[in-house]
Amino acid sequence: MNKKKCTKWALSLLGTAALLAGCGAVGSTTENTESDKLQVVTTFYPMYDFTKQVAQDDADVSMLLEAGMEVHSFEPSSQMIAEIQDADVFIYNSPEMETWVPDVLASIDTSDMVVICASEAITLLEYEGEAHAHEHESDVEESETGHTHTVDPHVWLDPVLAQTEVTTIAEGLAEADADHAENYLKNAETYIGQLNELDEAYRAAFEGAENRTFVTQHAAFAYLAARYDLNQISVTGLNAEVEPSAAALATLSDYVKANNISHIYFENNASSQTAETLSEEVGVELAVLSPLEGITEEDQESGSDYISVMLDNLEALKQSIK
């Protein structure tokens, strides 16, 4: 295990942050100037949903990355950087997940905003390659953009660590907006109660299970597996866009056959081609297991959120964990 500390800047609200030099007004900037509410920019869906649950109607919360955008290899546009600059509060998961954040924060004036690294209080797990199923060339995975991962940033997929992130977000919002601090902390307490119920549902579902192994395309579920004493086997690595080698696939195929694996899980917002190939080769079923890196606006409008998708994940995992 490796303790990774996120850098936290900030910290006084002396006024509205100035526009980036040379940047014109963008859509959300106009909204910000017309609202007296705290202006909060988040990176991707879990950070957005956690923040909305805490802020409720006391802050305007926006999200930079839409569903379908690859969080690991994302690079922000100049307009997005302007939105961050104009925010009172900026919230992200970790520099290991949003690898672009440190450079952006170094390039803008953060003196009048609160920057919240939601995973700051969490010890990140070392990335162990392809989860013991087969040899990996290195414990460090490098994407096409040159970014590397030596730790696993997917902490939000553990309902208990999600509570830690919610607490960190609530404390940051309370610091940024003292007038509504009590509301933020109270809302966080309520939501943490719901996350506790989610945790209890997972514990009850897997209690006494004999088969505790599941195979997933994206190695995003190590924290969830560690929490509930499960064994995650991944087809690809931390970045779902990185394709496994032919040798790695062959070894995994042998593992699936030898261990009577019934399902291979893939994420709904990424290509499932690799998982489909392996599924056809070994004759097992495919099922969706969402890493919650993005939920479409349509799904959100129909009621999908962090907890509902995590409950869908639970039902999916029950097909393998018995």
What's the CATH code of the domain at 208?
Answer: 3.40.50.1980
Query: Exposed, middle or buried, 214 (CB in 10 Å: 0-12/13-18/19+)?
Result: buried
Sign of the Cα torsion 80, 154, 180, 7 reads: negative
Residue 2: predicted pLDDT: 46
Residue 129: predicted pLDDT: 60
DSSP state of 178: G
Answer yes or no: is 131 within a domain: no
Answer yes or no: is 130 within a domain: no
- Residue at 164: amino acid letter: T
Answer yes or no: is 30 within a domain: no
Answer yes or no: is 157 within a domain: yes
Answer yes or no: is 60 within a domain: yes
The C-alpha atoms of residue 199 and residue 228 are separated, in whole angstroms, by 9
Residue 270: predicted pLDDT: 58
- Which structural domain range is residue 214 located in? 38-125+152-318
DSSP state of 124: B
Answer yes or no: is 28 within a domain: no
The C-alpha atoms of residue 234 and residue 272 are separated, in whole angstroms, by 13
Asked whether 51 and 110 are in contact (CB, 8 A), the reply is no
Residue 221: predicted pLDDT: 96
Answer yes or no: is 141 within a domain: no
> Torsions phi, psi of 317, nearest 5?
-65, -30
Structure tokens of 142? 């490098």
The greatest distance separating any two alpha carbons of the chain, rounded to the nearest whole angstrom, comes to: 62
CA distances from 51 to 56, 263, 279, 322 (A): 8, 34, 37, 34
The count of structural domains within the chain is 1
Neighbours of 260 (CB within 10 A): 9
User: Each residue's pLDDT tens digit in the chain (322 positions)?
Assistant: 444 445 443 333 323 333 333 333 333 333 444 689 999 999 999 999 999 999 999 999 999 998 878 787 789 999 999 999 999 999 999 999 999 999 999 999 999 999 999 999 999 999 866 433 333 333 334 433 344 458 999 999 999 999 999 999 999 999 999 999 999 999 999 999 999 999 999 999 999 999 999 998 888 999 999 999 999 998 876 655 566 777 777 888 888 888 889 998 988 765 567 778 878 888 889 899 999 998 888 999 999 999 999 999 999 999 999 9
Answer yes or no: is 139 within a domain: no
